[in-house]
Structure 1
Amino acid sequence: MFKQAILSVLIVAIIASSAYASPIFSFVKQFESANKRSPTSSNICCLPNVFSMKGVFNQVSIVANNSTLQPVDGGFNFVVDYNAGKIRQDITYTVDGAVNTYTNWDFKISSSITVSYDLQSGKCHCHKVTDFNQWEAYCIPNTGTVTKAKIGSYDALKIVNTQNGAIGTFWTFREPQMANDKCWILNTLAVSSTASLEQMYYDMVEKVDSNVFTVPASCPSINTCLSQ
């Protein structure tokens, strides 16, 4: 269903977050959440169950009088171990010359309970989540126009989706040792009449450093988070 495809999430998030810095991290979480699905024939491919990767992004919105708002750009780092039920996401972004950082950890406590930590401006908060849907594979829905291509010697796919005049273009590729249903996301670009957002990914590896899942000592304990 295209409503659940990547493009629709991208366009909504661009418009909602480009004028304000704080929702950017929420966008990345929403983008990931919308594409969490178990591997099926309705998906083009899925990211590995254990991976680390980095990326950069740039987003710009245009207001009604065609004047461009201040662009927001930055970088992010994803470290994910679905098998162990652990996710860490770091984002650094710049708005009007000011550099901001945000870190989030998610820990799977049970099939229905997740504890989420947020660290920003030196302050650490946590909360219990009961409707968390990010513990299944991160997959690319099989929608839009799919074109086979090559990136160097790697097999690649170009996926183009359109909705209400907006266009989303996504590039994926596979390394030779990867399973047929696995892939990496290389680039995403979403453009509408009022906004654009581009994300580029790099340094993808099918491993994690378990030390990055340790939250700072200043953060509340897991038991404290569960009681909230």
Structure 2
Amino acid sequence: MFKQAILSVLIVAIIASSAYASPIFSFVKQFESVNKRSPTSSNICCLPNVFSMKGVFNQVSIVANNSTLQPVEGGFTFAGDYNAGKIRQDITYTVDGAVNTYTNWDFKISSSITVSYDLQSGKCTCRKVQDFNQWDALCLPNSGTVTKAKIGSYDALKIVNTQYGATGTIWTFREPQMANDKCWILNTFVVVPTASQDQTYYDMVEKVDSNVFTVPSSCPSINTCLSQ
């Protein structure tokens, strides 16, 4: 994936969602774009290297073929250990009353090779992915209008950015024990000409349960995935 500003990634995701009337939602794809782990002038802050969180999202988009509004809502859980090179995402979303669920695992093989598993409707598939940015830190670039705020007693930032005719707002906060260059994402809200998407994150902790990275026995082996 090319390195893109976070708002650009959100916009790309939401435009794709409106075109296909289903959410192209992936926490990783929305926050993997900037790759500096240490605080620099180009980053506001980065998420921890090891963390778990949950989230919910709501989207309304115009379906391309008939210009009707298509609401989509769902939730997800995320566990990432960037030190060990392991990620899991569980996503559930509802479209036209139909509930869809899927699980994705990513495993780091080398600095440029990742094996990605997808489990949906009882079927487990895998593929080899060549991506030099996959295991870089999940950071927020220092762009747009940044306003300091408070969420309770926590230091917070409101980041507003406008690109490509779209506007995105991101809220972050930092717990007192966190390093100065680390933060949590609380909410993102993006509006484009054909859609809007709101996401709220919660239950974030700087730890993961290692058991969640075990893929079902029905899934292909790592070697099989690498040979594809």
Same fold (TM over 0.5): yes
Are the aligned partners of 1:18 and 1:71 in contact in 2 as well (CA < 8 Å)? no
| 1:221 matched to 2:221 | yes
Kindly tell me the number of residue pairs found equivalent between the two proteins. Answer: 225
Cα deviation code 1:18-74 (max 9, x no counterpart):
35355524x544313324443341100000000000000011113689964220110
Q: Which residue of 1 aligns with 2:102?
A: 102
Q: Which residue of 2 aligns with 1:16?
A: 16
User: Which region of structure 1 is more displaced relative to structure 2, 109-118 or 34-43?
Assistant: 34-43
Q: Which residue of 1 aligns with 2:30?
A: 31
Unaligned 5+ runs, structure 2: none
Are the aligned partners of 1:49 and 1:81 in contact in 2 as well (CA < 8 Å)? yes
| 1:130 matched to 2:116 | no
Residue type of the alignment partner of 1:158: K
Q: Which residue of 2 aligns with 1:152?
A: 152
Three-state SS of the structure 2 residue aligned to 1:84 is: coil
Q: How does 1:139-218 map to 2 (within 5 A)?
A: 139-218=139-218
Residue type of the alignment partner of 2:60: V
Are the aligned partners of 2:54 and 2:76 in contact in 1 as well (CA < 8 Å)? yes
Are the aligned partners of 1:186 and 1:201 in contact in 2 as well (CA < 8 Å)? yes
Are the aligned partners of 2:86 and 2:107 in contact in 1 as well (CA < 8 Å)? yes
Structure 2 CA distance, aligned partners of 1:72 and 1:125?
A: 25
Q: Percent identity?
A: 84
Are the aligned partners of 1:59 and 1:73 in contact in 2 as well (CA < 8 Å)? yes
Structure 2 CA distance, aligned partners of 1:180 and 1:33?
A: 20
Unaligned 5+ runs, structure 1: none
Q: Cα offset for 1:218?
A: 0.4
Three-state SS of the structure 2 residue aligned to 1:70 is: strand
Structure 1 CA distance, aligned partners of 2:222 and 2:81?
A: 18
Three-state SS of the structure 2 residue aligned to 1:4 is: coil
Are the aligned partners of 1:144 and 1:161 in contact in 2 as well (CA < 8 Å)? yes
Q: Which residue of 2 aligns with 1:48?
A: 48
Are the aligned partners of 1:60 and 1:68 in contact in 2 as well (CA < 8 Å)? no
Cα deviation code 1:135-189 (max 9, x no counterpart):
1110000000000000000000000001233111000000000000000000000
User: Which region of structure 1 is more displaced relative to structure 2, 121-130 or 195-204?
Assistant: 121-130
Residue type of the alignment partner of 2:30: F
Q: Cα offset for 1:194?
A: 1.9
Are the aligned partners of 2:33 and 2:139 in contact in 1 as well (CA < 8 Å)? no
Are the aligned partners of 2:15 and 2:195 in contact in 1 as well (CA < 8 Å)? yes
Are the aligned partners of 1:11 and 1:195 in contact in 2 as well (CA < 8 Å)? no
User: Which region of structure 1 is more displaced relative to structure 2, 164-173 or 43-52?
Assistant: 164-173
